[in-house]
Amino acid sequence: MIRFEDLDLERMVADVLAGRELDRPVARAVLNCPDERLGELLAATLKVREVAFGRRVKLCILRNAQSGICAEDCHYCSQSRISAAEIPVYRLQSVDALVEGARQAVASGARRYCMVCSMRGPAARDIEHLSAACTRIKAEYPDLELCLSLGLMSREQADTLKAAGAGWINHNLNTSRRFYPKICTTHSWDDRVATIENVRAAGLATCSGGIVGMGEDDDDILDLAYATRRLGIDSVPINFLNPIAGTPLAGTHELTPAKCLKVACLFRLLNPRSEVRAAGGRELNLGDRQAELFNAVNSVFVNGYLTTPGLDHRRTRELIERGGFEVEEWPAG
């Protein structure tokens, strides 16, 4: 076992920037960093973050395009069939509504717009409908990064979305392969990996991360972080569990702000050139320490999540600037 105090942080940063994967004992020491040394870990992580992303932070906006209709049983999710959470329930929104959502995202300064559907996976008519939305949105905003999160997806479906202008597909691994059966029984971790491979084969960028604070242990967090690296994920969202009333994980409160920050550092150090993103639960779990996340992450969701509220784009912008970072703006012209 290596203690954080024994790490040579300069050497660790140099190794990461040289493309070397952190040894697992080093990664574990990062996760076990004593709270009083966290400032040193954040400063080291910032050096890695700055090489690929400077001090830029990309704003992203989610659109819950189909809400509360899912046959799966993901225990953290308010939209699953086993959730009793009181949330809006509606079928796939019209193409007009999805295009309007893109306009609102752009007006809020978002560089990426992600349309999310609660479903096991899309039917042919869903792909057709969402492709029509992508085509219209890209015609209006060629520079807006378009992402979809539609559950399990075949290669052919990914090909169709790519042809319509989608750039990214989100499909989170969520946790380690080992812990996965504890949070979902209706599909497997391997099913999720298969979708990621289909997405990549179609030439789309992959977005896949996870949720911490669900009862997993540090080995599960390490496994997940290594999986994102070894699968070469392009964009890695980190969610900090918001235990929604009515879900099986209601009442689970395992995270501290310091733990969230250590997790963010771990993901950055293992993914030095991928986007690492602060996603759901940052407000609840980090409170007034959210700005410290930007030492590790280069992207953040604003204006809330699928069924939970979050900090709006104005207040998030203030947070970014107060922390000495800058919002990534649209390309000039």
Under the rule (CB under 6 A), what is the footprint of ligand SF4?
70, 72, 74, 77, 79-80, 118, 120, 151
Tell which phi-psi region holds residue 324, choosing left (phi > 0), alpha (psi between -120 and 50) or beta: left
- 260 labelled catalytic: no
Catalytic residue among 33, 60, 207, 260, which?
Answer: 207
Catalytic residue among 56, 63, 277, 282, which?
Answer: 277
Q: By C-beta, is 82 or 258 nearer to ligand SF4?
A: 82
> Hey, is 154 helix, strand or coil?
coil
Q: How far is the CB of 214 from ligand SF4 (least distance, A)?
A: 12
> Hey, is 240 helix, strand or coil?
strand
Distance CA(53)–CA(57), nearest Å, equals 8
Distance CA(218)–CA(42), nearest Å, equals 19
CA terminus-to-terminus distance, the chain: 53
Tokens coding 74: 């993901």
Distance CA(152)–CA(96), nearest Å, equals 25
Residue among 69, 9, 63 nearest 41 (CA): 9
Distance CA(76)–CA(244), nearest Å, equals 7
Q: How far is the CB of 198 from ligand SF4 (least distance, A)?
A: 16
Q: How far is the CB of 166 from ligand SF4 (least distance, A)?
A: 18
- 60 labelled catalytic: no
Q: By C-beta, is 80 or 235 nearer to ligand SF4?
A: 80
Catalytic residue among 74, 117, 134, 260, which?
Answer: 74
Tokens coding 47: 């050096």
- 37 labelled catalytic: no
Q: How far is the CB of 80 from ligand SF4 (least distance, A)?
A: 3
DSSP string, 70-82: -----TT-TTSTT
Residue among 61, 15, 50 nearest 297 (CA): 50
Q: By C-beta, is 45 or 118 nearer to ligand SF4?
A: 118
Q: By C-beta, is 45 or 174 nearer to ligand SF4?
A: 174
Q: By C-beta, is 80 or 157 nearer to ligand SF4?
A: 80
The DSSP 8-state label assigned to residue 45 in this structure reads H
Tokens coding 7: 């790490």
Catalytic residue among 114, 184, 260, 265, which?
Answer: 114
- 134 labelled catalytic: no
Q: By C-beta, is 280 or 310 nearer to ligand SF4?
A: 280
- 265 labelled catalytic: no
Q: By C-beta, is 195 or 316 nearer to ligand SF4?
A: 195
Location of structure tokens 């890209």? 138
Tokens coding 20: 């070397």
Catalytic residue among 60, 147, 184, 260, which?
Answer: 147
Beta strands in the chain (DSSP E): 56-66, 112-117, 145-149, 168-170, 205-207, 210-212, 235-240, 275-278, 299-301, 326-327
Instruction: Give catalytic residue positions.
Output: 70, 74, 77, 114, 147, 207, 277
